[in-house]
Amino acid sequence: MGESTYSYNSLDDNTLARLSKNGDDNAFNELAMRYLNTINFIARKYSAEGYEQNDFVQEGLLALLYACRTFDENGSSGFKNYMSVVVERRFISIIRKSSTQKAVPKSALVQLDDLGDTLEDLSQTPEELLMCREHLQMVLDKLKNVLSKTEFEVVMLYGNGLGYKEIAKKLSISEKSADNALQRARRKICNINMS
């Protein structure tokens, strides 16, 4: 992990995925910032009962983390294509699970845990899914600690596909303030020490 935190934005996706796979949280943060819009774009194509757009984006970030851990640099596909397929499959699994649950009477369902974790991707073990969720929550908590409230809100809204105008309206700030908050957040995220 010889790359310094300030240079992550200059690294290619394959390198960032490799670093993330080896436990470099800063590399994952950079990939998450790069692909929030892509994940949101893919998420807009899907809907399932009980899931909001933001839920799909969060599931997409989990899929991004899974893609980092399973990406093979020697394969024929680049990371962006691989990640897109992993995200799409996760969303399709959510849809299938949702439609399956509709067919089963609620009285026949048994709640296995209080966490509400879903095991929609059969290629992941429950342990891996829990680790991914814990990692994502750790990243979000770290972002909340490092970013101001406005910066965090702007990053989340931007990740959900909102433009500066929509963000400004939603947060009652100017478009310039939204842009500035996002730029400050990017700089802070590049300097986060996740260890």
Class of residue 47 by CB neighbours under 10 A (exposed 0-12, middle 13-18, buried 19+): middle
Mean pLDDT, rounded, for 163-171 = 87
Q: What is the pLDDT of residue 141?
A: 78
Comparison of pLDDT for 20 and 50, the residue scoring more: 20
Q: Is the pTM of this model over 0.85?
A: no
Mean pLDDT, rounded, for 79-98 = 84
Mean pLDDT, rounded, for 96-114 = 47
Mean pLDDT, rounded, for 66-77 = 83
> Which of 2-16, 28-42, 120-134 ranks highest by mean pLDDT?
28-42
pLDDT digits (tens, 9 = 90+) for 45-65: 877 666 777 777 888 888 888
Comparison of pLDDT for 72 and 124, the residue scoring more: 72
Determine the Cα–Cα distance for residues 36 and 92; give it in Å rounded to an integer: 18
pLDDT at 18 over 80: yes
Q: Please report the domains of the chain, with CATH numbers, ordered by start residue.
A: 10-102+119-145 (1.10.1740.10), 147-195 (1.10.10)
Share of the chain above pLDDT 70, in %: 72
Comparison of pLDDT for 153 and 53, the residue scoring more: 153
Q: What is the pLDDT of residue 144?
A: 82
Comparison of pLDDT for 156 and 4, the residue scoring more: 156
pLDDT at 131 over 80: no
Class of residue 30 by CB neighbours under 10 A (exposed 0-12, middle 13-18, buried 19+): buried
Report DSSP letters for 61-94, one per residue: HHHHHHHHHH--TTSSS-HHHHHHHHHHHHHHHH
